[in-house]
Copies of this chain bind each other. A is one copy, B any other.
């Protein structure tokens, strides 16, 4: 495609996006398609001849938009917010238009240095320790895996340079709670620790936060049994209930056993822009790493996860490569982000953060985040409707199966209607409904409308 064709098509697509974003409130929130319905509308073979842009654009309307759940919708209360602010969309367009190649500092100095500057902007905005350094990853899943790989290697005196995990004798263990995100157990498995060596400390029955005493006990038992504690993943804002593990009380325990402390604040990290919410990570100066996702509540379009570390040398020692074709004269003087994560080739992701912060401004972003806070820990409220007959006057569940079925049907009737989206989740074996507030376009009337819908659905389910 020639630049002038791109210019014409690009203008059309920009208009299409502006129009689409304007009409989202009229769309059903949950995609109303069944399995295979989207694929059935697409050509089974790649086109030999170029197609006109108009036909591709028409397919966006006819096939793609009805085929996605509208997470930019003002009545999207599902999973966690996944905002794609239009300022960040412009930054991402600049990234693609530039087509820069991030493999070494030399291949695109601005890709590295804009990233260094914006992760420092966000470090300061979130009041993380001044000496910590940051890097952009795709998701918190990868960021957590990177942290656990660094932890694994520090704990084994860098066994990867020798026989790897297979040469180790006593098993390394990782600690968290059963409310940790599914990506934590996945990272433990992929990093080769083995799922048996992921240990859950008990939580407080009301707050679902890790009990430091429970962690202390399990550590003592494990060390006595010959296990070697390597890392603890501290959850700041769990997916189920935004529970917050007490970092300040966990750090001294971790220090005693020489464990790596990784803070998973994938969702809650955005709240750290608000000074009144920084209690969430009290004690962070004693941790080793923290990751959070601007692509969630903050609104920098997917994929954009920040990983901060107290000492990047731990990442570099584990992940650096130095083939001849990547060497340059300035290697000692510059940051080589390829050595801070898994991929070699990196997209210029910093531009979307840079555009987002500059075009929206920190103050307006803070005001929006404050707007979303509910009178709970953060912005996610967990609900259940308890019909007469299934729960006693004193709150005791009389028929657990029927209550679960009622809860799932309740959520499903809202979601199927397309009027709003909520996510069911299991808590202590009982299903609840999560209402996660924080879509960029959600205003008070949208929340009131959800409340109305929930009441209506409860009456008719």
In chain A, residues 80-128, which have Cβ atoms closer than 8 Å to a Cβ of chain B? 82-90, 92-94, 96-103, 105-111, 113-114, 116-118, 120-122, 124-125
Instruction: Determine if A159 is an interface residue (Cβ-Cβ < 8 Å).
Output: yes
User: A87 CA to B3 CA in the complex, in Å?
Assistant: 10
Instruction: Select from chain B the residue with minimum beta-carbon distance to A107.
Output: B69
In chain A, residues 182-214, which have Cβ atoms closer than 8 Å to a Cβ of chain B? 182-183, 185-186, 188-197
User: A189 CA to B159 CA in the complex, in Å?
Assistant: 9
Distance from A243 Cβ to chain B, minimum over Cβ atoms (Å)? 14
Contact A363 B139 (CB under 8 A): no
User: A298 CA to B101 CA in the complex, in Å?
Assistant: 15
Contact A163 B171 (CB under 8 A): yes
Contact B89 A92 (CB under 8 A): no
Instruction: Select from chain B the residue with minimum beta-carbon distance to A51.
Output: B358
Would A10 and B364 be within 8 Å (CB), given that A46-B357, A347-B303 are in contact? no
Interface centre among A37, A138, A361 (most CB of B within 10 A): A138
Instruction: Determine if A64 is an interface residue (Cβ-Cβ < 8 Å).
Output: yes
Q: Report the interface size for chain A: residues with CB under 8 A from the other chain.
A: 167
Instruction: Determine if A321 is an interface residue (Cβ-Cβ < 8 Å).
Output: yes
In chain A, residues 125-163, which have Cβ atoms closer than 8 Å to a Cβ of chain B? 125, 138-139, 141-142, 145, 149, 152, 159-163
Instruction: Select from chain B the residue with minimum beta-carbon distance to A198.
Output: B164
| Residue from B66, B193, B330 in contact with A166 in the complex, judged by beta carbons closer than 8 Å | B193
Would A17 and B22 be within 8 Å (CB), given that A160-B194, A321-B186, A423-B325 are in contact? no
Contact A160 B190 (CB under 8 A): yes
Inter-chain contacts of A185 with B (CB < 8 A): 321
Beyond contacts A30-B106, A46-B118, A67-B113: 13 other A-B pairs, Cβ-Cβ < 8 A, are A13-B93, A17-B98, A48-B361, A48-B363, A56-B354, A64-B114, A67-B110, A68-B100, A84-B98, A89-B96, A93-B93, A162-B196, A182-B344
User: A323 CA to B196 CA in the complex, in Å?
Assistant: 18
Residues of A contacting B: mostly: helix
Instruction: Determine if A405 is an interface residue (Cβ-Cβ < 8 Å).
Output: no
User: A321 CA to B13 CA in the complex, in Å?
Assistant: 36
Instruction: Determine if A172 is an interface residue (Cβ-Cβ < 8 Å).
Output: yes
Can you pick out 5 interface pairs between chain A and chain B where the beta carbons lie within 8 Å of each other? Answer: A3-B18, A3-B86, A13-B97, A293-B345, A323-B425
Give 3 nearest A-B pairs by CB, closest first: A164-B194, A84-B99, A67-B110
In chain A, residues 7-38, which have Cβ atoms closer than 8 Å to a Cβ of chain B? 7, 9-11, 13-22, 30-31, 33-38
Contact B21 A113 (CB under 8 A): no
Contact B89 A124 (CB under 8 A): no
